[in-house]
Structure 1
Amino acid sequence: MSVARRSLATFTAAVLAAALPATAASAAQEPDAGLLRLTVTQPDGAAARGSVNLVATDDSHSEFLQLDESGQLSVEVPANDYKILITPAYVDPDLPDDGLRQWVHGKTSYARAEAFRVTAGDTTDVTERLLPPSPLTVRARDAITGAPISRVCAYADGRGGNCDDTELTIPRLVPGPQTIRVYTEDGNHLAADATVNVTEGDTATAVVDLTPAAHVETTVVDAATGAPVAGACATVAPAGTGELPSVGPLACSDGTGRLRLDNVGAGSWNLFVRPTGGSPYGAQWVGATGGTGDPARARRLNLAAGRTVTVPPVRLDRAGTITGTVTSAATGAPVTSGEVSLAHSSGLSYLSWGTYLDGQGTYRIDWLGPYRWPLLFTTPDHALQWSGGVPVRGQAKPVTVRAGQSTTYSPALKRGTLVTGGLTNPAGHPVSAVLTFHNAATGEVVGSTWDYDGRYEARVLGRQTVTVGWQWGGFADYAGWYDGVAEASDAKPVTVPSTGTLTVDIGLRPFPAS
């Protein structure tokens, strides 16, 4: 996982860490506190066991607590409005069932949950009855023809995940609106998320339309001899972008060199092929007549839903190697943490798009075809930059790879301009968020960061104009753009100077994340 992509995973971990158990004693030390008393019963009226998340609606405070044997808890918290999430433990009090979480009163999402006001010096009593787990039957049909899909798979909130003929029943879900993931085993239809309604005490049925997938077929051969090559793996990137995926379709050639890539959406794509398992062949963007290291020169595949496109044989050349030592232009010292890659994503499944710097700042990539490759350098203490010290791929200085030979490329990375500022929610309180900086002209990611305490710092190459996207939230996820808009097209551009420090304070808004 690249540093740029890893930021979102790190932010998620920070949100979860913020929800770890906090004692009532610590909460009682807060000024202007009130008492919240919660009583929870099972559907049959017996005392419930499990865990409780108490979340201030302005994101300023949270508690993670346990119900006692009587199904109750009491906690002093700062005066505020709170939403309450209950994770019941029907079998073992120490093993709450995440698949049956419900928000008070009887809701399946944070957005629909009721807020309870805790007033300083007063007691707020809340009671909740757990909803009885109820089944959901799922069927699927072709979104174009309307024909039933004979083998369907589904899961919801950690439940299901099995496949069955014609229809599948997920046995225990919280009644109310639920988002389910529906897919097929054969790769002939694209997976889809659907919001369905689970009926209390009854078996609801959901019929979900799935769009037929497109397919790519080809044969992978030795460019010199025409002999089939096994174990060469392929994926796709949006045409002309070079943005290799971290999650997406993947297929590898068999012993005859045949390769079929399923689960591809309709659209315009480039095909990327990388041999695996110590193969002597090199990776390539598949071009019109041979391989290339430049996605802008790759063959464009126009795919339609439900159709199969056959690509002429992919002709693999022998691999070459790029090695080098990465240093800081500011200090001359080796840069000992980070990644050298072909794209912002680190890789797909076991297929890597790059490599990590070692403790001496050195790297080695020995699986590239003999072409000119732009390289991306993502490190914690320097601005994200492409080979040649530029912010976007189209400006990069490609590094030439020669078959069977080693090319040395040892860049001195630019520190970049320090972009900093505060992050606040609509109430003006500091919040944690992930920020992503995009080149305003191309939309490419040119930097990212996350913070814990409402104050961020990022290194971005200047001079360039950027837009700033953000993601914020824990139980509810929000996303938007600077300055106070929900869509990228409405984002306010910011010019990053060549040197110095740029301060940009960002107010986050509760725009639901898509």
Structure 2
Amino acid sequence: MRQHALRRPLLPAALTVTIAALTLVPISPALAATGTSTITGHLTDAAGHPAAGAFVWAQTNDMSSTGSATTDADGAYTIPNMAAADYRMSFRPDGGGFAQWAHQKTSYGWADPITVGAGATVVVDEQLLPTGFITGNLLNRDGTPATGSVTANSSPENFYIDSRSLQLDGTYRFELPVGAYKLQFGVQNAFSQWNGGALTFETAAPIQLAAGQTVELHDTVLPTGSIGGRLTNADGSPAAGASVSVRTQDYSLYSYGTTDADGRYRIDNLLLAEYIVGFSGPNSVTQYAHGKLDPDAAQKFAVTDGRVTAVDEQFLPTGTVRFVAHDATSGAPISGFCAWYFGTSSFGNCADGTELVLNDVFIGQYNFDVNIDDRQHFNIPNAAVTVTAGQTTTYDAAMRRGASITARMVKRDGGAATDGCVQAARVGDVFSWSEYGFCSDWQPDPVTGSVVIGPLEPGAYSVIAKPRDTALGLQWLGNGGGTGDRDTAAQFTVAVGDNLQLPKVRFDKAGTIQGKVTDAATGAPLPYACVWVVALSSTFGGSGDCPVSAGADGTYTISGVGPYAWPVESAYGRYQWRWSGNAVDRHDAEKVTVKAGKTAKANLKMRTGGGTVTGIVRDANGHQADVLVTAFSSVTGEPVQFIGGRYTPEGQPAGTYTIANIAPQNVKLRWVTNDGRSGWIGGADFAHAQPVQIRNNKTTTVNITVS
């Protein structure tokens, strides 16, 4: 089972990794470009003189095409044999540490795209930015030189600029472009601190650097302490070779260790704070001192300057869990099922036959997910099990049977079978596209072009099919052929136990939709906006799971769509999600007609503003609770914005949720907890949930009680 974090586009963080790789890792010949185009130009220093011996680098956003060169005595360079693509280019002076990006940018995130056509010669001249120097040292508290590394990040963006190891005497020296910076020290490979003794980027003071200026800094390693103790098994014997973790409540500080043959451990170089101490036990389950499996219930231990905080621990007793399963209707035994516990520590397994036994499980209460990939039976998401010391607890899972659909896919031209992915959308219920978990044939049927979808709840469904052959087009299965409109797709009704054979999915040749995404008020392009012809998931993150992302100039290309009329949805940052023609929901979208082998045009204009829904989240006892909340159109059942809640990428406050920039409309709200519980506001399901009116520039409060 794949699990994915829920993310929004956060370009600077993602790009930092790319930049660091370019500055530290030698270029691999396997990445070299093989095309017919050329990039050439001249590099000059800040005074306008030729910059000889500088390293020049060009790369596409996905690193599929790269090239490099070194400037000659006149500052000239040429990178031949480049593929036609959009590139970002960096220039590293001879002997310099930082990489400057065209044109005169200090990070990849701000670099200008360089468009290179097939067979073209593109001239990219660049002048190096004026620079200054930041020098200094890092000393231990006893005055001896510290060991470690130092990294210069831009302020306020927190983009990586340059890094180096501390010299043997604890000193360092950077030549950097004029600007503001913050320095991060990696101390003894144990922890990080920032210039001025700050613990975080946000609390460090920016260092202003002018042309020709030298700024000198002197920093001292922050005070530290240790945590140590002894770990024993439930019978009192030493627990040797166990992993020990210490961390603060917010994970901002953490470290690791291992127990020795006598169960003893010690973790040094811990910054002064309160720590939670965890010990990895049987089934890789972490027990927290003292005797807790929930880190939120664990004791916190204060680390003080120069002292060892003693934390001894004894593993909890263990028991055994035995799982069997049967069909809830017929009573027939089921084999090959799986049972997994998803908590702070996850564990479980799958049965080889009709029985699954999990040994050495810590005592306590667990909610297991019992599931089977037979396309016929539904999961049991919260199978409650109580483990008793030295005892075997048996859980007999009554697995409810659903319906299934078999789809056969062929090429319309010639009728040859072809593989693809098929997803069923329940009529009158929620639906969205997700790149993760969408494909129905991740374990393809032995017969080419045949897939089974299930289990399905009884009801009416439409299906959408995506061929693996990129020359063929996406389609909703219609009556007598494909369609791009979910509302006109054919509907198929299934009951419990059915295995419905669909009419053949006949894939037509594909066409393309191209356009540009811009701000409706300013006309400015919206780089990396997400676009698609099917409703987007509220949890997509724009980093591999957005079906199509626009380029840096806001232009996008949706290829592989069938020759039908399609709506196009766009999503971006703090903008309203809208459909083509500025429609609030898909029913009112202006359709884009696609022809096989042709390109249709559709420019999209996005708007800020919209309304907000927010609230506090509590459990049945009035205690603070955390959920993820999705707002769905009450008309179409499709998401209308990114999720809200504590565990969203921006980290909303605990016990709350906020969803902003919703286009004015009526929505229905669904919440989901980390342990899989879910519910709707005002009803048992989407059909019966209470609509919430979203008004432009207004905030609506809807509090949630988690059952």
Normalised to the residue count of structure 1, the TM-score between the two structures is: 0.71
Letter aligned with residue 440 of structure 2: L
Match of 2:594 in 1: 401
**1:431-446 counterparts in 2 under 5 A?**
434-440=628-634, 442-446=636-640
Match of 1:314 in 2: 505
Give the Å deviation of 1:205.
2.3
Task: Please give the per-residue CA displacement for 1:413-444, whole angstroms capped at 9, x wherever unaligned.
Answer: 12232648786879999998755334455553
Q: Does the Cα contact within 8 Å between 2:672 and 2:678 map onto a contact in 1?
A: yes
Of residues 459, 463, 484, the one that matches 1:271 is 463
Of residues 373, 376, 386, the one that matches 2:566 is 373
Letter aligned with residue 441 of structure 2: A
**1:241-390 counterparts in 2 under 5 A?**
243-245=432-434, 246-247=436-437, 250-251=440-441, 258-268=449-459, 269-278=461-470, 280-341=471-532, 342-345=534-537, 354-390=547-583
Task: Please give the per-residue CA displacement for 1:173-227, whole angstroms capped at 9, x wherever unaligned.
Answer: 22222222333354443333322222322333222122234332243233354x2
Distance 1:430 1:43, change over 3 A: closer
Task: Please give the per-residue CA displacement for 1:142-173, whole angstroms capped at 9, x wherever unaligned.
Answer: 11111112333333343333431121222332
Q: Which moved more, 1:428-437 or 1:364-373?
A: 428-437
Q: Which moved more, 1:138-147 or 1:438-447?
A: 438-447
| Distance across 1 between alignment mates of 2:406 and 2:673 | 41
| Distance across 1 between alignment mates of 2:652 and 2:498 | 50
Give the Å deviation of 1:267.
2.5
Instruction: Give secondary structure in 1 for the equivalent of 2:332.
Output: coil
Give the Å deviation of 1:243.
2.7
**1:134-283 counterparts in 2 under 5 A?**
134-157=319-342, 158-184=346-372, 186-193=374-381, 194-225=383-414, 227-239=415-427, 243-245=432-434, 246-247=436-437, 250-251=440-441, 258-268=449-459, 269-278=461-470, 280-283=471-474
Give the Å deviation of 1:339.
1.0
Using the aligned pairs only, state the percent identity.
26
**1:483-498 counterparts in 2 under 5 A?**
493-497=692-696
Give the Å deviation of 1:335.
0.8
| Distance across 2 between alignment mates of 1:264 and 1:286 | 19
Instruction: Give secondary structure in 2 for the equivalent of 1:296.
Output: helix
Distance 1:211 1:249, change over 3 A: farther
| Distance across 1 between alignment mates of 2:704 and 2:408 | 50
Q: Does the Cα contact within 8 Å between 2:335 and 2:351 map onto a contact in 1?
A: no
Give the Å deviation of 1:54.
7.2
Give the Å deviation of 1:486.
10
Give the Å deviation of 1:274.
0.9
Q: Does the Cα contact within 8 Å between 2:612 and 2:694 map onto a contact in 1?
A: no
Using CA pairs below 8 Å that are at least 6 residues apart, which structure has the higher relative contact order?
1
Q: Does the Cα contact within 8 Å between 2:283 and 2:360 map onto a contact in 1?
A: no
Q: Does the Cα contact within 8 Å between 2:405 and 2:454 map onto a contact in 1?
A: no
Q: Does the Cα contact within 8 Å between 2:340 and 2:370 map onto a contact in 1?
A: yes
| Distance across 1 between alignment mates of 2:374 and 2:681 | 42
Match of 1:447 in 2: 641
Give the Å deviation of 1:318.
1.5
Give the Å deviation of 1:323.
0.9
Q: Does the Cα contact within 8 Å between 1:154 and 1:162 map onto a contact in 2?
A: yes
Q: Does the Cα contact within 8 Å between 1:236 and 1:249 map onto a contact in 2?
A: no
Letter aligned with residue 408 of structure 2: T
Distance 1:487 1:166, change over 3 A: closer
Match of 1:392 in 2: 585
Instruction: Give secondary structure in 1 for the equivalent of 2:339.
Output: strand
Letter aligned with residue 397 of structure 1: E
| Distance across 1 between alignment mates of 2:673 and 2:499 | 40
| Distance across 2 between alignment mates of 1:156 and 1:456 | 26
Match of 2:151 in 1: none
Q: Does the Cα contact within 8 Å between 1:319 and 1:404 map onto a contact in 2?
A: yes
Unaligned runs of 5+ in 1: 11-20, 27-36, 79-83, 91-96, 119-124
Match of 1:460 in 2: 661
State the aligned residue count.
460
Q: Does the Cα contact within 8 Å between 1:423 and 1:432 map onto a contact in 2?
A: no
What is the RMSD of the two structures over their aligned residues, measured on CA atoms? Answer: 5.0
Q: Does the Cα contact within 8 Å between 1:340 and 1:354 map onto a contact in 2?
A: yes
Q: Does 2:101 match 1:101?
A: no
Letter aligned with residue 568 of structure 2: L
Q: Which moved more, 1:46-55 or 1:385-394?
A: 46-55
Q: Does the Cα contact within 8 Å between 1:22 and 1:64 map onto a contact in 2?
A: no
Instruction: Give secondary structure in 1 for the equivalent of 2:523.
Output: coil
| Distance across 2 between alignment mates of 1:8 and 1:38 | 43
Q: Does the Cα contact within 8 Å between 1:416 and 1:460 map onto a contact in 2?
A: yes
Instruction: Give secondary structure in 1 for the equivalent of 2:245.
Output: strand
| Distance across 2 between alignment mates of 1:402 and 1:54 | 57
Q: Which moved more, 1:254-263 or 1:167-176?
A: 254-263
Normalised to the residue count of structure 2, the TM-score between the two structures is: 0.54
Distance 1:424 1:286, change over 3 A: closer
Distance 1:419 1:230, change over 3 A: same
Q: Does the Cα contact within 8 Å between 1:431 and 1:453 map onto a contact in 2?
A: no
| Distance across 2 between alignment mates of 1:472 and 1:61 | 21
Structure whose alpha-carbon radius of gyration is higher: 2
Task: Please give the per-residue CA displacement for 1:339-391, whole angstroms capped at 9, x wherever unaligned.
Answer: 112122399xxx98831111121111121111111121111132111112222
Distance 1:446 1:5, change over 3 A: farther
| Distance across 2 between alignment mates of 1:63 and 1:456 | 26
Letter aligned with residue 250 of structure 1: S
Give the Å deviation of 1:284.
0.9
Q: Which moved more, 1:202-211 or 1:247-256?
A: 247-256
Instruction: Give secondary structure in 1 for the equivalent of 2:408.
Output: strand
Letter aligned with residue 639 of structure 2: V
| Distance across 2 between alignment mates of 1:155 and 1:441 | 36
Match of 1:6 in 2: 7
Q: Does the Cα contact within 8 Å between 1:231 and 1:276 map onto a contact in 2?
A: yes
| Distance across 2 between alignment mates of 1:146 and 1:255 | 29
| Distance across 1 between alignment mates of 2:337 and 2:667 | 44
| Distance across 1 between alignment mates of 2:366 and 2:624 | 31
Letter aligned with residue 356 of structure 2: L
